[in-house]
Structures are given as structure tokens and as C-alpha cells.
Structure 1
């Protein structure tokens, strides 16, 4: 039933539809599930050979039987959290709200995320967030449904809410436009910090992850014809080796202007189509291709810009 656990038959259907080339959004629509349920299922239960229904069912069963011992409770905070900590929790929660998480679940999630042990009781959450137990209970229920937290039983009847280490594999339902914006912002950060720096490498992984989520949740509407048009426009920009307007592209390709504009829009929504290039729009309305900043390190770009070495010159 929608909202319940996936059955073995559900997983067989997912495997079959993936083999047919359907996107996550279409599979979710056919099963009557959130798109995030399908993306999480495939991310968590895929094998090196792809997504296999029997293996996925076995892996899900093993997780359901797994029972971790409850982590020790954190010592009392000794009053309200420090101003900087509270400010960070609220700011980070606001960002999660921007990608689709309701405000109270976002606050509870960030509070758990920033706790020393990655787990808190209801009373500890109430004290830290200065909210009612009912608000915490409702937020925890929402986060459990999204599989972002789990609960363990402590001595007596007290429960502890835990964030597992693999929580980032559990892609939650969010606005795909916001995911694309996060990916684009991370790529801009790569230019600032440098692709060869540790910060640049982390931003590159983050950009790839959020771009993948955005593309999977927004990808089922693309037809083969739309993909072919996008690749043709990409080839035209590479061949021209100069910025072109939509009108210039349409004229050169013998297309209606709307078709060329649609192909550019497709590339904008599916950045992976242009990889390892990116299509950028200039202030004058023209479009050009450039190499993606995260594909080459600063040292590699400098070496390529320097041109060929004289014969016999030693490499560093």
C-alpha cells in the first residue's frame, strides 16, 4: 500500500521498469509512491551489477532485523545551547526547508545531526529546541517515514532517536529546482577554492550528488528526441568555438527558434548531458561551452594552458 514498506513484488516491478529505461519519477507514479522512496530504494539496495529484486529484498530484510544497541545518552547541556550553535541549527534548518523538508522536522533533524552522539531523547530535543513534546513527536514521525532517523528503546519506556551513518544515501523528497541550485552553487565554489584543493574536491562530490538527485527526479519527462536535440546543440557550440545566440543556432541548424531554445533548456535541466562540458549563458544572451571546473585540477589546467613542452624537456 502507498506509504508502507516496499514488497518483494514492488521490487520486481522496480527492477523490470529500470531495465526498460523508466525514470524514478515514472516508477514512483506507477507504484503510487513518492519519488524519494524509489531513489532511496535503488541507492541503498543496488549491487555492482545493477538493481536486482531478490538481492534488494534480502538486504531490506537484513536491515529490518538489525538491532543496534542504544547509544549512551549525552550529558545534560546545562541550560540552553550556545548562541552560535542555536544560530547554526536554525540557519541549516532553513536551508533544508528550502529543499522541501517541513520546518519542525528540519529543526529536529539538524539538532540530531549536530549532537555529539547523533542521537537524542524526546526530552532532550524539547529542551534544546524549546518546543512542545507533541511537536517533537510529530516531527520524528515524519522523519521516520522518510527513513532519516530511527528510534531505539532505552531502559524503561524512554526512546532515543538516532541518525545512522548512511543517512546521506536516503535521498528525501525535495524540490528538484533547489537541488539543481545547490549543485550549481557547489560548482561555483570549486572555481573559488580550486578543483585541486580538499575543499574543491568535497564541493565536486557534493555537486555531483545533488545534480544526480535533481536529474533522477526530473528526468522521466525527456524524450529521445529532446536528448538528440540537446546533443546536437552541444555539438554545434563546440564546432563553432564561439558564443552563439538562440537565433544563430536555429539558423545554422535549420530549426525553428523554439526548437533550439528547447534544446538549450534541456541542457540546463540535465547538466549531465553536457558532461564534461557546461553550457553557459553570457549577459548578451549568447551561449558557449566551457570545460567543467571540477573535471581538471588547477595544476592540470595550468599545464594544458602552457602548451607542448620542447623536445627533451623533463616532466615535473
Structure 2
């Protein structure tokens, strides 16, 4: 199996495969590459609907150039305390994590910030630190942070002086699941509203009713699972319960 970076010809074949509606796995098979390589390449460069081979190739060359250049003053301090980690491995993992967030529907810049905040040991970063680490403009950071705050995915806190810092709430994934459940429930309710409009018993109305029932059940199940997971994971192993008894096996 070939290794190394994708060539421009391989990127053109990826673009052709996407245009033909091929799955990532099939494109990867034809290139004799891992599926993860193709998935990461596409999601890093606009996604399946906006991927362009020439732009992706130039973007990769720019990233490689940035990695070769000496770090600017203060750039290495964007993430204090690297604990002796392999910087290149961390950078590659950050890109993989960004790709996963994008595959779940998160816009690219927001996904990059989420990955950056996830991997920082300090737990939070300023807008300037985010801009420096991601090498983007402060305006891009501000716009992305506003979106993430609206989704309850980041918290804003006051740092030293007047600087604001951004990080993840302890309940970030709980909040994310609850937001997803609310969105799903809203689609269910909207689907149900269409039943009377389309005429009860008609094929379209039946389709909408089935969708509403499915989505209602999914949203309720997601809420229960998120609440149960939060309660269980918040319990301290070995700590006595409220009534003074020891927790039962399996609790906490």
C-alpha cells in the first residue's frame, strides 16, 4: 500500500470519485489507500460537495510550508506544557479530530476550534492564542466562537486583565446531546403539523406521521441516555450515597 502524502493525480481521482457518487471506501480502494486517508483529505478541504483537487493540493503545500518554517516568537507558547509529546503526532491527531467533528456536521472553523480546545492542557485559550495556533484572523475566531456559544459548546470566562478565555464546559457533551435532542424533537413536531395539512390517511401524511413517531422516540431516548450517563459519570466511585449507604454494585 503506498504511503506518504497524496499526489495531485490522486486528488484528481478523489474529485472524480466524489463527482461519480462513490463512497470514501471505494475511492480509497481504487487508490490503494486507507479509507481514513481519503475521508480526512475530503473533510479537511471543503467536504464532499465542495472538494476541489487543485485547491486541496495547494492547501496541503501551504500547511507543509508552515510546518517547516521556524516558529514565530510566542507561537510555541500557544499550548504550554507539552509533557514531552511528539509535536508532529499531536498535530496529525488534531487534524483527525477536526475531521471527525466536521463529519458530524460541524463547520470547518468551528471544528478546528473544538479540536484545539479539546487538546489544550490549560482547559481554555484566549482568542489571540486560538488565532495564533490555527493561523487565522481574529475575526474568524470571533465568528466561530459566537456559533459555538449558541450551541452551548464553549464557555466564556474572564482571564487576567480584560482578556476573555474560551473553553469547554464540564457538561459539553451533555449539552451537545440535549441540543441534538431538542432539534430532533422540533423536526418531529413540525412533521406532525404537516399531517393535517396533507390530509390524514394520505401517503404524504402517513409518511410524516411515521417520521414524527420515530423522531419523538429517538429524541426521548437520547435525553434519557444523556441524563443517565451524566449522573453515573458524576458519581465518585466509593462515595456514600445520600442516605449514607454504600453504592450498589454497578453504580458510579
**TM bucket, shorter chain:** 0.3 to 0.5
Scaled by the length of structure 1, what TM-score is found?
0.34
> Which of 1 and 2 has greater Rg?
1
- State the TM-score, normalizing by the size of structure 2: 0.41
Higher relative contact order (CA 8 A, sep 6+): 1
